Amino acid sequence: MSSLLHPDRLLPADPAVRAVARRLYAEVEALPIVSPHGHTDPRWYAFNETFPDPARLFVVPDHYVFRMLYSQGIPLEKLGVPRIDGGETEQDGRAIWRLFAANYHLFRGTPTRAWLDHAFATLFGLEERLSEKTADAAYDRIAEKLQQDAFRPRALFERFNIEVIATTESPLDDLAAHAEIRASGWGGRVVTAYRPDPVVDPEFEGFSANLTRFGEITGEDTFSWSGYLAAHRKRRAFFKTFGATSSDHGHPTAATFDLPPAEAEALFRRVTRNAPVSAQDAELFRGQMLTEMARMSLEDGLVMQIHPGAVRNHNGQIFARFGRDKGADIPSPTEYVRALKPLLDRFGNEAGLTIILFTLDETSYARELAPLAGHYPALRLGPAWWFHDSPEGMKRFRTMTTETAGFYNTVGFNDDTRAFPSIPARHDVARRIDCSFLAELVCEHRLDEDEAVEVARDLAYGLAKKAYKL
């Protein structure tokens, strides 16, 4: 075993509790990975090309990595992040890697460090901590392995023991990569998920052009309310043919509305005809669409995920130069109890509907989310997300939600990642933390060990399959 990875990492320090946690972890360590929500690129699985170089695997696409480096004054251009205007950025993978390695100390104490070390050790056999001194040797080793067939995306998918993985696509995506995966005859199970923000959020870049395209793709009049809704129904059905079992909604707040049909139609007219759309109408429309999507979910069975509370593109200069998803999204306080009431008044009692709630505002766990999910049959709690997808974040999630919502109103783990090699690391962290939490309950005689084994297996595997119908 590499010196980068201690076999007892993340398990409790107390020897008695650690012994129980080890036994629980042994039961779940090797279970297959179910990854119901994430952002890996389906073209990787479709075309199975070699990953170009270590920097383009670990640094350039990972906003967790480059946001930390940027925070210490390293320009994104030097990290090879592409500019919107095609302006000059570092192209030499080794130069990017050296800069990253020389600053690896910045990741001490962060989950990124744990994920990276896990991949370095288990995939590439690195034994020494990454630093300025070890940068070149690590680069050469990883680069050499990446040329081997065993390190192509499909081989890694199989090695990671992924039973099923979901990607996330816009309704405007033609799902050609998914079609290619199907046509290839490869047995890996990759499904899509319906993420309609570009045609649901009037404040999304290019909203009006997106609606035009939405109409061309579906053959519906997407500038009429009924045609627009019909277009969603068609597109959802199309996504289902590529395995979709869920939709995903990334809104600034959890606001929902349930307007009478005539008012909803008038609102639709305003957000598609007025320029600019008022902030109030934009919020009203996004909220109305969550209720419309819930109605469609009851018809077609897609599970809804609501990911609210990120103030997107907080850094205007970075957004202008590099675009979305560049590590400049910042959490904001999020209210759920009143915000979700219109949707729940309409559909909250439907046991056949599943709405999975996420938060970037941990103050809502015990006060709002656990009580809501511990009551409404339609609601489930998604795992600790994004900034809280970390050992401490997972502990806080279990500590603050379990007494009110139990384990069975939660849905297992989501890796939610764009960084392919981090997938096993992230699931492993979740399994270790959940086993540690359960071991505490066992040692305090609040749960029998045989029950804890069952829960551990459900949290690692069974609940994600069930909640996401996978």
Q: Which helix (H) or strand (E) holds 381?
A: strand 379-381
Nearer to Zn ion, 417 or 436 (CB): 417
Look up residue 7 and give its two tokens: 């076999």
- In whole angstroms, the minimum distance from the beta carbon of 48 to Zn ion comes to 24
Nearer to Zn ion, 368 or 416 (CB): 416
At 22, which amino acid appears?
R
Nearer to Zn ion, 348 or 383 (CB): 383
Query: Is the separation of the CB atoms in 237 and 320 below 8 Å?
Result: no
Nearer to Zn ion, 112 or 272 (CB): 112
CB burial string 120-129: b at 16+ within 10 A, e below: bbbbbebeeb
Interacting stretch for Zn ion, rule CB under 5 A, among 13-21, 222-230, 285-293, 414-422? 414-422
- In whole angstroms, the minimum distance from the beta carbon of 358 to Zn ion comes to 8
Q: Quick check: helix, strand or coil at residue 209?
A: helix
- In whole angstroms, the minimum distance from the beta carbon of 200 to Zn ion comes to 16
Distance (Å) of CA 363 to CA 7, 254, 307, 375, 386: 33, 15, 16, 19, 15
Indicate left, alpha or beta for 73 from its phi (over 0: left) and psi (-120 to 50: alpha).
Answer: left
- In whole angstroms, the minimum distance from the beta carbon of 386 to Zn ion comes to 8
Applying the rule CB under 5 A, the residues between 326 and 385 that interact with Zn ion are none
- In whole angstroms, the minimum distance from the beta carbon of 4 to Zn ion comes to 28
- In whole angstroms, the minimum distance from the beta carbon of 334 to Zn ion comes to 16
Interacting stretch for Zn ion, rule CB under 5 A, among 61-69, 409-417, 423-431, 452-460? 409-417
Q: Which residue is nearest to Zn ion (CB)?
A: 416
Nearer to Zn ion, 53 or 329 (CB): 329
- In whole angstroms, the minimum distance from the beta carbon of 168 to Zn ion comes to 6
Nearer to Zn ion, 48 or 246 (CB): 246
Radius of gyration of the chain, Cα coordinates, nearest whole angstrom = 23
The structure tokens 């170089």 sit at 53
Site size for Zn ion, by CB under 5 A? 1
Interacting stretch for Zn ion, rule CB under 5 A, among 131-139, 326-334, 413-421, 436-444? 413-421
- In whole angstroms, the minimum distance from the beta carbon of 418 to Zn ion comes to 9
Interacting stretch for Zn ion, rule CB under 5 A, among 151-159, 227-235, 364-372, 411-419? 411-419
Nearer to Zn ion, 165 or 443 (CB): 165
Distance CA 176, CA 42 (A): 9
- In whole angstroms, the minimum distance from the beta carbon of 294 to Zn ion comes to 19
Query: Is the separation of the CB atoms in 302 and 244 below 8 Å?
Result: yes
Look up residue 107 and give its two tokens: 């990741």
Nearer to Zn ion, 220 or 416 (CB): 416
Nearer to Zn ion, 389 or 416 (CB): 416
Nearer to Zn ion, 90 or 416 (CB): 416
Query: Is the separation of the CB atoms in 331 and 387 below 8 Å?
Result: yes
Look up residue 352 and give its two tokens: 């056949």
Interacting stretch for Zn ion, rule CB under 5 A, among 102-110, 190-198, 331-339, 416-424? 416-424
Interacting stretch for Zn ion, rule CB under 5 A, among 84-92, 199-207, 297-305, 410-418? 410-418
Interacting stretch for Zn ion, rule CB under 5 A, among 55-63, 65-73, 208-216, 408-416? 408-416
C-alpha dihedral over 151, 152, 153, 158, to 10 degrees? -60
- In whole angstroms, the minimum distance from the beta carbon of 335 to Zn ion comes to 21
- In whole angstroms, the minimum distance from the beta carbon of 37 to Zn ion comes to 6
CB burial string 51-76: b at 16+ within 10 A, e below: bebbbebbbbbbbbbbbbbbeeebeb
Interacting stretch for Zn ion, rule CB under 5 A, among 25-33, 149-157, 370-378, 415-423? 415-423
Distance CA 150, CA 338 (A): 51
Nearer to Zn ion, 12 or 421 (CB): 421
Q: What are phi and psi of 290, to 5 degrees?
A: -65, -40
Distance (Å) of CA 70 to CA 63, 104, 318, 340, 423: 10, 13, 11, 36, 24
Distance CA 80, CA 89 (A): 5
Distance CA 120, CA 129 (A): 9
Applying the rule CB under 5 A, the residues between 130 and 169 that interact with Zn ion are none
Where would I find the beta strands (DSSP E) of 257-369?
Answer: 303-306, 310-311, 330-331, 355-357
- In whole angstroms, the minimum distance from the beta carbon of 39 to Zn ion comes to 6
Binds Zn ion by CB under 5 A, chosen from 197, 201, 220, 416: 416
Indicate left, alpha or beta for 154 from its phi (over 0: left) and psi (-120 to 50: alpha).
Answer: alpha
Nearer to Zn ion, 37 or 152 (CB): 37
Judged by the rule CB under 5 A, the positions of this chain that interact with Zn ion are 416
